[in-house]
A = this chain, B = another copy of it.
Amino acid sequence: MSHTPKTRLKRAHNRGAYDRPTIDAILDAGMICHVGFVYDGYPVVTPTIYWREGDHVYWHGSSASRMLRAAEGADVCLTVTHLDGLVLARSAFHHSANYRSVMLFGKATKVEDDAIHTAHLKTFVDGIYPGRWDTLRPMNAQELKATTTLSMPINEVSAKIRATGPVDDEADMDVAVWAGVVPIGQRAGVAEPDATCQAAGLAVPDVAARLGFGG
């Protein structure tokens, strides 16, 4: 793990973290990242699903995707953010938010080998839906070709975390306004089978494992 001018937090040092267990936990708690790259001289930020395997983060999509084509081989900033709470303070100025975020810099590389590519996609699918890959027919050659998967090493990276109540000015502490935290989290709702599936009465898969959702 290298500290660079890009990853070193300039302010709010107490919110910074650089250790892999912290970074991996934040990455593993998410599904959507925002990938930034420079396209035709302009910054572009696109949302996409990602997953982590060991020391790399992966994301994928259609091989025709402009984002994937532009990001391949390019400098990328991949950011994952969890909003954990609203922080209500006794002055407007000290209102804040609790969050966990990871910012990862690097160059994106395309996964080329078909067998390795397939193995990554299996890890991705089973990571969200444990055991699901083997219940599905194998991906065919056309589907694999139509899918591009990029990877980036977890090397130039930092995390930023705020996880505490309001920090008010001493002079404001006797103001009679509610102060504290409203927690925010992501939740899965009740699974909705499509018409064909409903007719067949199949069991709902367990999607909770990776996502750590409450019910």
Interface residues of A (CB under 8 A from B): 5-6, 10-11, 31-32, 34-47, 49, 62, 64-66, 75-79, 81, 83, 86, 88, 90-93, 95, 97, 99, 101, 103, 105, 121-122, 125, 128-129, 132-133, 135-137, 139, 143, 146-147, 165-166, 172-173, 175-194, 196-198, 200, 202-205, 207, 213
Contacts and interface: CB of A to CB of B under 8 A. Distances in A.
11 contacts: A10-B66, A11-B65, A31-B83, A36-B45, A47-B99, A91-B139, A136-B177, A177-B202, A178-B202, A183-B191, A183-B192
Given A6-B44, A43-B76, A180 B203 contact: no
A75 B99 CA distance: 26
Nearest to A74: B43
Contacts of A11: 62, 64-66
Given A31-B97, A182-B189, 6 more contacts: A36-B45, A47-B79, A91-B137, A93-B143, A180-B198, A182-B188
B91 A136 contact: yes
A148 B128 CA distance: 40
Contacts of A121: 92
- Among A38, A44, A47, A179, residue most surrounded by chain B Cβ atoms (within 10 Å): A47
A77 B39 CA distance: 11
Contact of A49 (B97, B103, B176): B97
A190 to B, nearest CB: 7
A90 B43 contact: no
A193 to B, nearest CB: 4
Contacts of A91: 136-137, 139, 143
Contacts of A173: 196
A37 B47 contact: no
